Amino acid sequence: MFVQSLGGAIVTSAVAAAWLAPGTAFAATATETLSVTGTVQSVVVDPLPGTPEGAEQEQAFVQVDDLLLPVPAGALAGADSGQQATLKLKTRPGTSRAEALTDAAGTTPVAASSTARALGSSSAAVVAARLTGTAAAATQEAAIGSHTLTVLPVFWSAKDAETPSSLTTLATKAKSYWAEQSNGGIAINVDVRDWKQVSAPSGSCNTTAIYQAALAANGLTSPTDATQHVAVYFPKQSGCSWAGLGSVNGSIIWINGYPWEDVLTHEFGHNIGLGHANKATCSGTGGRVTLSTSCTIAEYNDVTDVMGYAMQGYASGNLNSAFGDYLGLAQTVTASTSQKTTVDLSALSTHSGTTGVKLATSAGTVFVDFRPATGRDTRAPYWAGVQAHLRTATNPPTTQLLDLQPTSSSAFSAANLPLNGVWAVPGTNQTVKVTSVGATTATIEVAAAADTTVPNTAPVITTTATMTNTATQAITWSAAADKESGISAYRVLVNGSTAAETGGDTLTADVALAEGTNTVTVVGVNGSGLIKSSAAKSILRDSTAPDAVTALKVSADGKTVSWTAPADKGTTRSYAVRVDGTLTATVTSPTAKVSIAAGRRTVSVTPSDAAGNVGTATETTLWIDPSAPVSPVITAPSADTWQNSRQVTLAWSAASAPGSGISSYTVTVGGRATVVDGDTTSTTVTLSADGTFPVTVVAKNLAGVVSKAATGTIKVDTLTPDLAKTIKLATDQSKLTWVAGSAAGSPVSWKVQVDDGAAVLVTKAEAPNTAAEGRHTWTITGVDAAGNTGAAATYTAWTDRTAPSAPTIMTPVADSTARTAPVTVTWNATTDSGSGIASYVVTVGTQKTIVPGTTTSYSYKPSEGRQTVSVAAVNNAGLSSPAESVSYTYDPTAPTVPAQVKVSGADDRTVVTWAAATDRTTGIAEYVLSLDGTRVTTATTTTATVTTPPGKHTWTVQAVDNAGNTSTAGTTGPVWFDTTAPTAAQPTTVPASQATRAVKVSWSAGSDAESGVKGYTVVASNGSRTVKVATTATTATVTVPEDGSWQIVVQTTNLTGLTTEAAAGTVLVDSAKPGAPVITSPAAKGTTGTSFTVTWTAPAAGLSGITGYQVLVNGRAYTTVSGSTLQAPVTVTVAKATPTTVTVTAVGGTGLVSPAATVAFTVSL
Predicted pLDDT at 59 = 80
Tell me which architecture the domain covering 460-541 has in CATH.
Sandwich (2.60)
Residue 948 is which amino acid? T
Identify which of 571, 588, 607 has the alpha carbon closest to the alpha carbon of residue 469.
571
CATH top-level class for 550-624?
Answer: mainly beta
Model's pTM, two decimal places?
0.42
CATH T-level topology, domain 725-799: Immunoglobulin-like (2.60.40)
CATH top-level class for 808-890?
Answer: mainly beta
Predicted pLDDT at 434 = 94
Identify which of 11, 47, 36, 59 has the alpha carbon closest to the alpha carbon of residue 250.
59
Tell me which architecture the domain covering 906-911+919-977 has in CATH.
Sandwich (2.60)
Q: Please state which CATH number belongs to domain 633-716.
A: 2.60.40.10
Task: Tell me the average confidence (pLDDT) per consecutive run of 10 residues in the chain, 1165 residues long.
Answer: 25 29 36 85 75 62 85 82 86 86 78 58 83 60 87 95 96 96 94 95 86 94 91 94 90 94 93 94 89 92 91 89 93 87 94 94 93 92 94 92 91 92 86 94 87 86 88 92 79 94 89 92 84 92 86 88 78 86 91 88 88 87 85 88 89 86 90 90 90 91 87 89 88 86 81 90 89 87 87 87 88 90 92 86 92 93 92 88 92 93 85 92 92 92 90 91 91 84 91 92 90 91 94 94 94 89 92 93 90 93 92 93 91 86 93 93 88
Contact 367, 320 (CB under 8 A): yes
With a CB cutoff of 8 Å and minimum separation 6, the contacts of 152 are: 193, 196, 214, 215, 217, 218, 220, 230, 231, 232, 233
Q: Edge-to-edge strands of the sheet including 766-768?
A: 725-729, 735-739, 766-768
Burial class (CB in 10 A: 0-12, 13-18, 19+), 713: middle
Question: For residue 791, which phi and psi values (nearest 5 degrees)?
Answer: -75, 150
Question: For residue 176, which phi and psi values (nearest 5 degrees)?
Answer: -65, -40
Predicted pLDDT at 234 = 96
With a CB cutoff of 8 Å and minimum separation 6, the contacts of 410 are: none
CA 767 → CA 243, 304, 759, distances in Å? 136, 130, 11
Predicted pLDDT at 25 = 30
CB count in 10 Å sphere of residue 868: 11
Radius of gyration of the chain (CA): 65
Pick the CATH number of 986-1069 from 3.40.190.10, 2.40.50.100, 2.60.40.10, 2.70.180.20: 2.60.40.10
Question: For residue 587, which phi and psi values (nearest 5 degrees)?
Answer: -135, 165
DSSP element (H, E) containing 216? helix 207-217
Contact 537, 463 (CB under 8 A): yes
Question: How far apart, in whole angstroms, are the C-alpha atoms of residue 800 and residue 798?
Answer: 6
CA 484 → CA 428, 445, 448, 487, distances in Å? 10, 21, 12, 9
CATH 2.60.40.10 range(s) for the chain read 460-541, 550-624, 633-716, 725-799, 808-890, 906-911+919-977, 986-1069, 1078-1163
Q: Classify the phi-psi angles of 813: left when phi > 0, otherwise alpha if psi is within -120 to 50, otherwise beta.
A: beta
Predicted pLDDT at 981 = 87
Predicted pLDDT at 114 = 58
Predicted pLDDT at 440 = 95
- What distance separates the 2 farthest-apart alpha carbons in the chain? 172
Q: Please state which CATH number belongs to domain 1078-1163.
A: 2.60.40.10
Identify which of 479, 514, 483 has the alpha carbon closest to the alpha carbon of residue 496.
514
